[in-house]
Amino acid sequence: MAVEIVYEENNKIGIIFPFDAQILDIVRTIPGRQWQPANKKWTFPDTDANMQHFLLSLYKTGRFNVDEKALENQEPSHSRYLEKMLQYLKLRDYSPHTIETYKMQLKWFFDRTELSPSEVTTEDIKLYLEKMRTLAGCSRTYFVQCVSALKSFYKYGYPGGLFNPAASIPMPKKEKKYPDILSREEVKKIITSPSNIKHRLLLSLIYSAGLRVSEAVIIQLQDIDTDRKVIHIRQAKGRKDRYVMLSTEIINMINQYRSKVMVHTWLFPGSAGADTHLATRSAQNAFYKAIEATGIEKNVSIHSLRHAFATHLLENGTDLRYIQELLGHRDPKTTQIYTHVSTKDLKNINSPLDGLL
């Protein structure tokens, strides 16, 4: 069996072959194909996706020769489309973290399934997600990231937008979980535990203003306004600036800190020198060391200091709208979680057991 492939005008590919039911079935799976009765040949749009699909389908029949060495040296089929998608996401101003996450998810998917982009079906994606859940115990976040990455890949990277096997896959329902909340006494133990003055200031600052750790480590001296008692948080989550409170206690701690630590640009310089800021991972490690030293057994992370900040403000009577602004939440529903974990109203309700015995 021989199949002749010729280039036509108007970005078309022509296919000529003796009648064969198996080859005909392959041609009929190509979008935009047309039969040219005068020339007795099929044509279809000249796109990478169409050619890749057609050649791969021919190869799978086992009836055609192939240069095995060329296949071994071939670039992974998804790489060229991946770069196109990444360029588009950068133009759309996606965060570097999101772009890197999508890149890793796509690498894992194509490496583990060993499928080319033209082969992937909706069922393949569902089976992959099911395996990752049962074998690896992957979380909802992993599912969302994987499906979002595949949707973007086929929408912005794969040529022609011919199909998107991830488009019809629904996102898994959100789990309704509430975070463990640190008490004021537990927070005090944590922020006073480190012997390192930089780590004490860092943990205290995160709690005092309800900061994300990624926001705290990139604070510069110019962002701290001691006269107005505010800190300028620049380009936080969602590419938004905001101002947060600067407590008097933090001002005193910063003065003590600067008398012992040489600070130029970043409030928390990194180990590589004055030109870098403290790494997020280093900040997290400082928190876990404090947890270990205090013996607190709650399921908490450094982000729990931000949760504690919001909850303690709410219990002190601060309006939820102000807390939303301080946290930088776009949706008030995100802030409303603290109404569920606050004990402010629960303390005013007596258990029916009280007074019974």
Query: In the numeric block, which tokens belong to residue 49?
Result: 């996706």
Packing angle of the helix pair 184-192, 304-315 (nearest 10 deg)? 140
Is residue 242 annotated as a catalytic residue, yes or no?
A: no
Tokens read off for 223: 């962002």
Catalytic annotation present for 264 = no
Catalytic residue of the set 237, 242, 289, 344? 237
CA distance 166 to 208: 43
C-alpha–C-alpha distance, residues 209 and 234, integer Å: 14
Residue recorded with tokens 């180990």: 271
Q: Which residues of 201-239 are buried (b: 16+ CB within 10 A; e: fewer)?
A: bbbbbbbbbbbbbebbbbbeeebbeeeeebbbbeebeee
Catalytic position from the list 212, 277, 307, 312: 212
**Sheet (strand 240-245) strand order:** 224-225, 230-236, 240-245
Give residues with Cβ within 8 angstroms of 197, minimum separation 6.
256, 257, 260, 261
**How far is the CA of 247 from the CAs of 181, 250, 251, 264, in angstroms?**
22, 5, 7, 22
Pull the structure tokens for residue 186.
Answer: 């537990």
Q: CA angle at residue 103 from 99 to 106, to 5 degrees?
A: 140
Q: Which of 329, 330, 333, 344 is catalytic?
A: 329
- Separation between Cα atoms, residue 304 and residue 210, nearest integer Å: 9
Catalytic position from the list 126, 133, 303, 344 = 303
Nearest to 268 by CA among 260, 193, 276: 276
Check if 92 is active-site.
no
Q: Is 303 part of the annotated catalytic residue set?
A: yes
Catalytic residue among 198, 199, 306, 307: 306
Kindly list the catalytic residues. 212, 237, 303, 306, 329, 338
